[in-house]
């Protein structure tokens, strides 16, 4: 596959938004244009790792393949109220420290299993979490799932969304191949 | 009028002028041109050509930057428009943005507008239920508004006439309160909608659940193929404009049909400032138009003028058409113009779940939307402490409800497994509201739009009758849901402002008496015989049915009458 085609396909996978691959950028800012969120390239990479932990690559593409972290940033930046945006950024900031304290190392340096444990603890712990970590993770997880289910890969390969169904059956027996909507 | 243009009067003279290209204006254009009249259609918004100007029609969800959602910025800029269910990333280009065309709300009113060729016919919910005499006789029987000057028999032929051309899917249900029409095959109820139908039919004598009738080509006939339209493909992405012409719109059907006659002149970006009245001839001679872009003023002339600007804008144009003969607005001898505005009360919904029929789901999509319950309240006689009643939508849906707990490989697997939830059911209320003098629109005394035309000031609100009716709807639907075995019933009476129903009607109502109405039984202005109003402004009462089909029938009937009167030299 030619490199140009590959990049184009990634761009399409990411959903028609013009998203520059982060490797082409050298500055410390996030690789996509954001109106409201102040996110560094380092944090963007952390988001990619968190997304990959939430929806890892298996025999099918994972969060990084689908650039879900960029989708999350785009949606939080454009479609969430200011309160959410602030909580997301503050929660992301404090997540690093929380992770280091909890797991003894930065998220990027943890094994896949420990990364999963670090994130799971956010849902299970009710006290002692730094401010907005829970809010951050809630938004992050919900938007990762949303981006995944609405990705071209899932909509064309796993849970097929049809542009032109051409039919309606109100008594469709379950337990056959299923399409969404 | 510094830019007043008096040149080329003959080039600006037509047999008929139609103001507005939406669902009723499109019909006026088709009927006039079909009868050989040179017809000018004036549309205040931009041109939208069928197929060519539907930019999002074939887009997949992942091709939208926000997957269909609105950004916070767009919501903040459009508090009114963004409350409409169809104002989403895929169709917001067909809606008026709040900033572009401000209006004055004396009381909260969500005025949802589509300023473009085709108007809101691109965006409508395509529900097409006929009226019956239970509706036309409503005001006389229940003592409100004024008596309708027509009955079902006056409109029956015209309903059939427009239905055959538009293409209406429905079943012959044999209900006096919702007469059958010229139907293409109906879309079926699904398993749970059907279950509800059976339960309601067996437990109640006068309550019915039928397949909603809708303007979709379930089985196109020759006349539809001749329009270049094809079978509905169950996309249910109608608000984007349909690449198959599967649903009826001015853009897909009436306007191209009119264009083929060679008699149509369509002028987009043409804002009608007023109708010109000539005192000596005692008739309207034409219209004064402001170009939306250049603001240049032009006058167009014709023997007959149809006002189809959408209910409230039709009121605005008539109110703004003043002369020494009509100082309060064209045809407004009675003083009722702009008053007795009514709408449909859509402010209640109810939701529940159903544990049964789990061996079924739906496959594909239903453009009809599901079931329809015609009005049963106070139908044969007065039986409650409120006037009139409500129709109700009813639909059931069963979709994926993936397990979203946890993270990692198990989450990834769970969310794409075909994990069906229970059947979920919902109903929404479509209540008749009573037209009142105190629900009115008028011209703002100080605020003008960008073209120097007074802004419309809207003062419309719910009343005690609406509140009682809404309480009854919720009570009755909860009872029926309980009888049908539905669980976890949730009432939603999160009140929405009038207007969001997008069924505003009246202001230039029809009636027998010029002292109490603006239009006669032919939709003709009592006091200015060559001006007709056949959009929502003409409505004497609202009943409960979605009104567009009735506007279409009234329009075709009025054009037929107007042309006959022109031949008789009466107008």
A56–B408 CB contact, under 8 Å: yes
End-to-end CA distance of chain A: 33
- Closest to B229 in 3D by CA, of B246, B213, B215, B242: B246
Give the span between the Cα atoms of B509 and B540, in whole angstroms.
5
Residue A175 binned pLDDT confidence (cut-offs 50, 70, 90): confident
Alpha-helix residue ranges (DSSP H) falling in B78-190 = 133-136, 138-142, 152-166
Residue from A168, A176, A181 to probe the interface with B (highest B Cβ count within 10 Å): A168
What six digits make up the tokens of A126? 């009710």
If you average pLDDT over every residue of chain A, what do you get?
Answer: 86
B412–A80 CB contact, under 8 Å: no
Q: Taking the mean position of all CA atoms in its chain, how far away is CA B196?
A: 28
Give the span between the Cα atoms of B299 and B272, in whole angstroms.
9
Residue from B212, B219, B407 to probe the interface with A (highest A Cβ count within 10 Å): B407
Residue with tokens 């997880």: A141
pLDDT tens digits for B223-238? Answer: 999 999 999 999 999 9
Task: Find residue B18's DSSP bridge partners.
Answer: B41, B306
Say what the pLDDT of residue A127 is.
Answer: 79
Say what the pLDDT of residue B5 is.
Answer: 53
The helix (run of H) or strand (run of E) holding residue B298 is strand B297-307
> Cα distance from B450 to chain A (closest Cα, Å)?
30
Per CB-CB distance under 8 Å, the chain B contacts of A16 are 62-65
Choose the closest CB to A170 out of B193, B367, B408. B193
A165–B72 CB contact, under 8 Å: no
Give the span between the Cα atoms of B510 and B149, in whole angstroms.
7
Q: Please name the residue of chain A whose CA is at the shortest distance from the CA of residue B364.
A: A168
What six digits make up the tokens of A109? 């340096």
What values do phi and psi take at B539, rounded to 5? -75, 125
Residue with tokens 């197929």: B51
Residue A10 predicted with pLDDT over 80: no
Give the span between the Cα atoms of B378 and B433, in whole angstroms.
14
What six digits make up the tokens of B321? 């058409």
Give the span between the Cα atoms of B42 and B272, in whole angstroms.
8
> Cα distance from B212 to chain A (closest Cα, Å)?
14
pLDDT tens digits for B316-340? Answer: 999 999 999 999 999 999 999 999 9
What six digits make up the tokens of B395? 């639909």
- Report whether B187 contacts B175 (CB < 8 A): no
> How many residues are present in chain A?
181
Give the span between the Cα atoms of B462 and B434, in whole angstroms.
9
A17–B399 CB contact, under 8 Å: no
User: Which segments in chain B show pLDDT lower than 50?
Assistant: 1-3
Which pTM was predicted? Answer: 0.94
- Report whether B426 contacts B474 (CB < 8 A): no
What six digits make up the tokens of B509? 């109502």
- Closest to B241 in 3D by CA, of B85, B64, B127, B122: B122
- Closest to B39 in 3D by CA, of B23, B24, B22, B26: B26
- How many Cα atoms occupy the beta-carbon half-sphere of B250 within 13 Å? 32
Q: Please name the residue of chain A whose CA is at the shortest distance from the CA of residue B189.
A: A170
Sign of the four-CA dihedral A29, A31, A37, A41: negative
Interface of A with B in 140-169 (CB under 8 A): 141, 145-152, 154-155, 158-159, 161, 163-169
Percent of residues, chain B, with pLDDT higher than 70: 99
What one-character-per-residue DSSP string does B132-144 give?
-HHHHTHHHHHT-
Residue A15 binned pLDDT confidence (cut-offs 50, 70, 90): very low
Interface of A with B in 54-113 (CB under 8 A): 54-56, 58, 60, 62, 74-75, 78-82
Choose the closest CB to B408 out of A116, A151, A169. A116
- Using N-to-C axis directions, what is the helix angle for A133-149 and A82-103, rounded to 10°? 110
Contacts of A109 (CB under 8 A, 6+ apart): none
Contacts of B177 (CB under 8 A, 6+ apart): B132, B134, B374, B375, B379
- Closest to B236 in 3D by CA, of B119, B120, B368, B121: B368
pLDDT tens digits for A26-57? Answer: 458 899 999 999 999 999 999 999 999 999 99
Residue A21 binned pLDDT confidence (cut-offs 50, 70, 90): very low
**Dihedral (C-alpha) B35, B289, B115, B24: value to the nearest 10 degrees?**
-30
Residue A67 predicted with pLDDT over 80: yes
Local structure of residue B190 (DSSP, 8 states):
-
Per CB-CB distance under 8 Å, the chain A contacts of B64 are 15-16
Interface contact A23, partner B, CB < 8 A: no
Per CB-CB distance under 8 Å, the chain A contacts of B190 are 170-171
Local structure of residue A76 (DSSP, 8 states):
H
Per CB-CB distance under 8 Å, the chain B contacts of A181 are 365, 399
Question: Of A4-18, A160-174, B452-466, which range is least confident?
Answer: A4-18
């Amino acid at each position: 596959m030619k490199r140009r085609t590959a990049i184009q396909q990634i761009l399409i996978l990411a959903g028609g938004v013009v998203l520059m691959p982060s490797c082409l950028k050298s500055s410390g800012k996030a690789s996509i244009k954001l109106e409201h969120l102040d996110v560094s390239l380092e944090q963007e990479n952390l988001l990619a790792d968190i997304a990959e932990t939430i929806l890892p690559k298996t025999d099918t593409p994972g969060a990084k393949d689908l650039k879900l972290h960029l989708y999350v940033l785009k949606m939080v930046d454009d479609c969430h109220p200011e309160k959410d945006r602030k909580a997301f950024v503050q929660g992301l900031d404090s997540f690093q420290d929380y992770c280091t304290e909890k797991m003894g190392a930065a998220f990027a340096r943890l094994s896949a299993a420990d990364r999963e444990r670090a994130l799971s603890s956010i849902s299970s712990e009710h006290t002692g979490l730094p401010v907005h970590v829970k809010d951050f993770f809630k938004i992050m997880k919900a938007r990762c799932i949303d981006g995944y289910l609405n990705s071209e890969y899932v909509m064309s390969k796993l849970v097929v969304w049809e542009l032109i169904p051409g039919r309606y059956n109100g008594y469709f027996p379950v337990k056959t191949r299923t399409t969404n909507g | 009028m510094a830019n007043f243009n008096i040149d080329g009067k003959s080039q600006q003279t037509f047999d008929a002028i139609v103001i507005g290209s939406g669902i009723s204006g499109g019909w006026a254009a088709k009927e006039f041109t079909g009868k050989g009249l040179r017809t000018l259609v004036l549309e205040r918004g931009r041109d939208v050509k069928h197929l060519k100007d539907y930019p999002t029609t074939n887009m997949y969800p992942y091709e939208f930057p926000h997957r269909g959602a609105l950004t916070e910025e767009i919501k903040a800029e459009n508090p009114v428009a963004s409350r409409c269910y169809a104002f989403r990333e895929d169709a917001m280009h067909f809606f008026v943005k709040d900033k572009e065309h401000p209006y004055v709300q004396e009381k909260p009113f969500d005025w949802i507008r589509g300023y473009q060729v085709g108007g809101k016919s691109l965006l409508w919910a395509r529900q097409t239920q006929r009226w019956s005499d239970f509706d036309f006789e409503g005001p006389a029987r229940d003592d409100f508004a004024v008596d309708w000057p027509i009955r079902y028999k006056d409109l029956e032929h015209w309903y059939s006439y427009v239905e055959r051309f538009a293409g209406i899917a429905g079943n012959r249900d044999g209900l006096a309160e919702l007469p059958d029409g010229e139907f293409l095959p109906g879309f079926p109820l699904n398993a749970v909608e059907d279950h509800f139908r059976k339960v309601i039919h067996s437990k109640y004598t006068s309550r019915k659940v039928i397949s909603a009738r809708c303007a979709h080509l379930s089985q196109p006939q020759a006349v539809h193929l001749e329009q270049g339209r094809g079978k509905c493909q169950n996309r249910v992405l109608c608000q984007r404009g349909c690449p198959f012409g599967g649903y009826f719109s001015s853009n897909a059907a009436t306007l191209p049909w009119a264009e083929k006659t060679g008699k149509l002149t369509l002028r987009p970006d043409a804002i009608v400032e007023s109708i010109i009245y000539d005192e000596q001839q005692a008739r309207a001679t034409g219209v004064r138009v402001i170009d939306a872009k250049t603001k240049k003023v032009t006058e167009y002339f014709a023997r007959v003028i149809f006002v189809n600007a959408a209910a409230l804008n039709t009121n605005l144009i008539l109110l703004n058409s003043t002369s020494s003969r009509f100082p309060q607005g064209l045809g407004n001898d009675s003083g009722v113009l702009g008053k007795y505005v009514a709408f449909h009360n859509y402010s209640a919904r109810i939701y529940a779940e159903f544990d049964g029929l789990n061996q079924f789901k739906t496959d594909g999509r239903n453009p009809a939307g599901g079931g329809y319950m015609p009005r049963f309240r106070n139908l044969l006689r007065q039986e409650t402490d409120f006037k009139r009643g409500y129709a109700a939508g009813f639909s059931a849906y069963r979709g994926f409800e993936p397990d979203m707990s946890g993270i990692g490989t198990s989450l990834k697997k769970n969310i794409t497994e075909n994990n069906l939830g229970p059947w979920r059911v919902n109903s929404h209320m479509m209540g008749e509201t009573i037209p009142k003098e105190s629900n009115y629109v008028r011209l703002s005394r100080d605020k003008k739009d960008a073209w120097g035309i007074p802004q419309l000031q809207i003062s419309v609100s719910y009343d005690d009758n609406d509140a009682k009716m809404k309480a009854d709807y919720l009570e009755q639907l909860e009872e029926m849901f309980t009888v049908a075995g539905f669980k976890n019933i949730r009432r939603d009476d999160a009140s929405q402002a009038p207007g969001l129903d997008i069924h505003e009607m009246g202001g230039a109502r029809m009636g027998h008496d010029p002292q109490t109405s603006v239009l006669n039984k032919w939709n003709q202005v009592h006091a200015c015989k060559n001006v007709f109003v056949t959009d929502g402004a003409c409505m004497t009462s609202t009943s409960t049915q979605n009104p567009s089909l009735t506007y279409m029938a009234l329009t075709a009937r009025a054009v037929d009458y107007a042309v006959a009167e022109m031949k008789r030299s009466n107008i």
